[in-house]
């Protein structure tokens, strides 16, 4: 990795740690540059002219740490629907095991990060899901009329509507939302949820809620 990439990664890693510890608003660019190895102000601003630019880069930074998507997509003898399930199961398990991953959802209560999360859905996750749905139509594992709209439903409802950090739901409410979303996706031609995925998602939610309670 080039030195400039190393510096950028150090900034993002330091910023994420501080955002989780102090919150986005209470973290200054000075805090970030010091934690990133006492970086000069010019060095920080070369990569990120504004603090909001750092925040906007956090979701993609986290995604780069995980190469499992490429591994899942290259797995032979699986339909696109099966691969899509594995992607979500892995995401759930990764967040369950990762303190930073679980805590990321706590930042959704911050208006600035909620906006970043929506942008990430729009610019990265929705196109990714859409491309998988299109491929699923080709291999016959899904039967979707509007791939884009269905991808939007999956991204926005599963990644926000069913997350307790966005809506202060109890476990029963989360289960009911997952059942409703499952029924909706079945009608749309994407029978995504099976027992394993639902269990993985519920376990992740329990970990998020436990982490939130511990941080109160």
Q: Decide: 54 and 48 in contact? Cβ < 8 Å.
A: yes
What does the pLDDT read at residue 122?
86
Query: What does the DSSP 8-state code read for residue 123?
Result: I
Q: Helices 51-64 & 111-120, crossing angle to 10 degrees?
A: 50
Q: Decide: 193 and 184 in contact? Cβ < 8 Å.
A: no
SS3 78: coil
Nearest 5°: CA angle at 120, between 156 and 86?
65
Residue 122, Cβ neighbours under 10 Å: how many? 13
Query: What are the residue ranges in the chain where pLDDT is below 70?
Result: 1-3, 95-111, 164-169, 211-216
Q: What are phi and psi of 52, to 5 degrees?
A: -65, -30
What does the pLDDT read at residue 165?
62
Nearest 5°: CA angle at 82, between 59 and 171?
60
Q: Decide: 207 and 96 in contact? Cβ < 8 Å.
A: yes
With residue 163 as reference, give the H or E element that holds it. none
What does the pLDDT read at residue 103?
58
What does the pLDDT read at residue 51?
93
Distance CA 10, CA 103 (A): 19
pLDDT tens figures, 168-191: 667 788 888 889 999 999 999 999
Q: What domains does the chain contain, in order, with CATH numbers?
A: 4-51 (1.10.10.60), 66-214 (1.10.357)
What does the pLDDT read at residue 33?
94
What does the pLDDT read at residue 2?
46
Distance CA 179, CA 119 (A): 26
Q: Decide: 143 and 153 in contact? Cβ < 8 Å.
A: no
pTM as predicted? 0.78
What does the pLDDT read at residue 161?
78
């Amino acid at each position: 990795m080039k030195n400039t990439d190393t510096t950028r990664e150090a900034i993002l890693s330091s910023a994420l740690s501080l955002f989780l510890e102090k919150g986005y608003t209470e973290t200054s660019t000075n805090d970030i540059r010091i934690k990133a190895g006492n970086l000069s102000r010019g060095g920080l601003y070369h990569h990120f002219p504004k603090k909001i630019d750092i925040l906007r880069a956090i979701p993609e930074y986290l995604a780069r740490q995980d190469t499992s998507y490429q591994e899942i997509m290259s797995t032979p003898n699986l339909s696109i629907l099966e691969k899509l399930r594995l992607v979500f199961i892995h995401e759930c398990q990764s967040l369950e095991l990762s303190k930073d991953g679980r805590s990321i959802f706590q930042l959704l209560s911050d208006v600035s990060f909620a906006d970043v999360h929506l942008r990430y859905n729009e610019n990265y996750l929705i196109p990714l899901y859409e491309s998988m749905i299109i491929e699923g139509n080709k291999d016959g594992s899904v039967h979707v009329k509007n791939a884009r709209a269905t991808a939007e439903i999956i991204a926005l409802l599963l990644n926000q509507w069913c997350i307790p950090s966005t809506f202060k739901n109890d476990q029963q409410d989360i289960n009911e939302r997952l059942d409703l979303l499952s029924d909706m996706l079945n009608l749309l031609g994407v029978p995504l949820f099976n027992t394993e995925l639902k269990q993985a998602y519920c376990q992740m939610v329990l970990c998020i809620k436990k982490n939130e309670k511990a941080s109160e």
